[in-house]
């Protein structure tokens, strides 16, 4: 799950609701964030009757063989997929930035119908781009979407490229790596070169990430957990040379979440001992942690046994110790105590900036975090990213008079 994402099925599936608008117009949203709010909730983005729009699309039923670099490219047989990058960067003198750059593809139909117009397309693309200026306490966010026609958006395997107008990611040469990311708005821009770092990590059961009990309600999912990154960040007219580490999540699927799942908390954490932790907690309508919550711990590259360790919901104890109220409505967790007993791991996870909420088509929180704690009795620190969805929906329900629950108790 990504994101999301982590797990980001709700955001990606929202493309179906945005498709009519995207069919006629290319749009970028970059109004002041205090003036915007999500037009959709996760529930509405995932709603629908019958087969939920899955008929004719491939579905993720069983584990498959992953082949690289081909699987970095598009999977058009599936309804939805995304390329998801987050990272923490800093200048030589210690000025810190976080970033999120996400490109989603959503198919409007299983097959492309013949069309006379060059504007006709089967796929629409959506992008989210954020920069967290930690030192200034500022958060810059933009959303863009367009149709996959006339070269406006698309994805290729060889050479690797996925783009949405001027935003994109592509191989810098004939080989897959390195990959260059580029996104730019009036307020912020990112120009980053990523090396692969550790090999891809297959999430779930050999890359099959099951989301609920229904067969096929799953995705194919892998992560690249520690990618050396270098380039520039520009905020408010000033450009900074930066280095750091990025995290890439790739997921493709057709099915949505189960009917009782309303949101998730997704963590991608890079520890100072060279290990990484991914965990997503799915939440049900009562606020409880869903049994299909899952994660992976990736040992340091120097470890004698460097095989990733699968984590079930019961392996991870996650407790919220602080919350943050959005000025746009809704209340989010804002500090967590995370414990994995079988790894001897205890962490406190804290956002670097409180307001890292994306008030875009589906409103959610995703931002840069700091870590401190211990593993097997030795101190560790680190940094990462957290994604939180569904919390803004509670505020929307409250405004319409729908009964809502409070802050959920975390597993």
d(C-alpha 345, C-alpha 317), whole Å: 10
Nearest to 202 by CA among 70, 310, 80: 310
Q: What is the pLDDT of residues 112-122, one digit of tens each?
A: 667 777 787 88
Nearest to 368 by CA among 119, 131, 144: 131
Q: Which residue has the higher pLDDT, 66 or 31?
A: 66
Four-residue CA torsion sign, 354, 359, 360, 361? positive
| pTM of the complete model | 0.88
Q: Report the pLDDT value the prediction gives residue 5, as an integer from 0 to 100.
A: 39
How many residues are present in the chain?
411
Q: Report the pLDDT value the prediction gives residue 395, as an integer from 0 to 100.
A: 53
DSSP β-ladder status, 179-184 and 218-235: unpaired
Q: What is the pLDDT of residues 8-61, one digit of tens each?
A: 444 444 444 444 444 434 445 554 444 445 555 544 444 333 455 778 999 999
Strand partners, 299: none
Nearest to 180 by CA among 164, 191, 188, 166: 191
What backbone torsions phi and psi does residue 174 show, to the nearest 5 degrees? Answer: -75, -30
What backbone torsions phi and psi does residue 179 show, to the nearest 5 degrees? Answer: -115, 140
| E-assigned strand segments in 19-122 | 27-29, 80-90, 96-107
Q: Report the pLDDT value the prediction gives residue 305, as an integer from 0 to 100.
A: 76
User: Where do the domains of the chain lie, and which CATH numbers do they carry?
Assistant: 9-399 (2.40.370.10)
Q: Report the pLDDT value the prediction gives residue 10, as an integer from 0 to 100.
A: 43
Place of tokens 């821009």: 189
In this structure, are residues 359 and 38 in contact, taking their beta carbons and an 8 Å threshold? yes
Q: Report the pLDDT value the prediction gives residue 133, as an integer from 0 to 100.
A: 98
Residue 182 token pair: 């580029």
Residue 403 token pair: 């009964």
H helix intervals, 327-409:
391-399
Q: What is the pLDDT of residues 267-324, one digit of tens each?
A: 999 999 999 999 999 988 877 888 889 999 999 988 767 899 999 999 999 999 999 9
Q: What average pLDDT does range 372-387 have in this prediction?
A: 97
In this structure, are residues 264 and 281 in contact, taking their beta carbons and an 8 Å threshold? yes
Q: What is the pLDDT of residues 195-251, one digit of tens each?
A: 999 999 999 999 999 888 888 888 999 999 999 999 999 998 999 999 999 999 999
The helices-and-strands tally (H runs, E runs) of the chain is 3, 24
**Core vs surface per residue 158-177: b (16+ CB within 10 A) or e:** eebbbbbeebbbebeeeebb
Nearest to 380 by CA among 366, 370, 367: 370
Q: What average pLDDT does range 137-146 have in this prediction?
A: 96
Residue 351 token pair: 């956002």
Q: Is 380 helix (H, G, I), strand (E, B) or coil?
A: strand
């Amino acid at each position: 799950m990504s994101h999301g994402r982590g797990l980001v099925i709700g955001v990606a599936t929202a493309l179906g609701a945005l498709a009519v608008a995207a069919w006629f117009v290319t749009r970028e949203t970059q109004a002041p964030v205090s003036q915007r709010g999500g037009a959709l909730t996760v529930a509405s983005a995932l709603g629908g009757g019958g087969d939920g729009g899955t008929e004719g699309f491939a579905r993720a039923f069983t584990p498959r063989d992953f082949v690289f670099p081909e699987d970095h490219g598009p999977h058009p047989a599936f309804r939805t997929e995304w390329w998801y990058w987050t990272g923490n960067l800093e200048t030589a003198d210690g000025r810190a930035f976080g970033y999120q750059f996400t490109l989603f593809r959503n198919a409007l139909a299983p097959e492309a119908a013949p069309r006379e117009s060059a504007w006709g397309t089967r796929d629409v693309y959506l992008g989210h781009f954020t920069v967290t200026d930690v030192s200034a306490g500022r958060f810059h966010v933009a959303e863009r979407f367009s149709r996959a026609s006339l070269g406006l958006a698309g994805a290729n395997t060889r050479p690797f490229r996925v783009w949405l107008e001027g935003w994109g990611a592509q191989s810098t040469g004939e080989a897959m790596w390195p990959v260059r990311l580029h996104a730019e708005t009036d307020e912020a821009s990112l120009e980053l070169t990523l090396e692969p770092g550790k090999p891809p990590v297959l999430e779930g059961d050999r890359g099959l990430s099951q989301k609920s009990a229904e067969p096929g309600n799953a995705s194919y999912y892998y992560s690249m957990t520690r990618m050396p990154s270098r380039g520039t960040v520009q905020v408010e007219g000033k450009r900074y040379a930066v280095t750091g580490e990025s995290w890439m999540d790739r997921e493709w699927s057709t099915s949505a979440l189960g009917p009782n799942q309303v949101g998730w908390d997704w963590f991608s954490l890079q520890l100072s001992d060279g290990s990484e932790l991914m965990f997503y907690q799915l939440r049900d309508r009562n606020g409880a942690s869903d049994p299909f919550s899952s994660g992976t711990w990736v040992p340091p590259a120097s470890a004698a046994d460097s095989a990733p360790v699968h984590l079930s919901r019961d392996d991870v104890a996650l407790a919220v110790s602080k919350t943050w109220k959005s000025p746009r409505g809704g209340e989010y967790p804002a500090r967590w105590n995370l414990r994995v007993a079988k790894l001897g791991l205890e962490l406190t996870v804290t956002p670097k900036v409180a307001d890292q909420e994306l008030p875009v088509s589906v409103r959610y929180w995703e931002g840069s975090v700091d870590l401190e704690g211990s593993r097997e009795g030795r101190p560790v620190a680190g940094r990462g990213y957290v994604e939180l969805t569904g919390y803004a929906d509670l505020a929307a329900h409250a405004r319409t008079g729908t009964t809502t629950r409070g802050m959920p108790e975390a597993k």
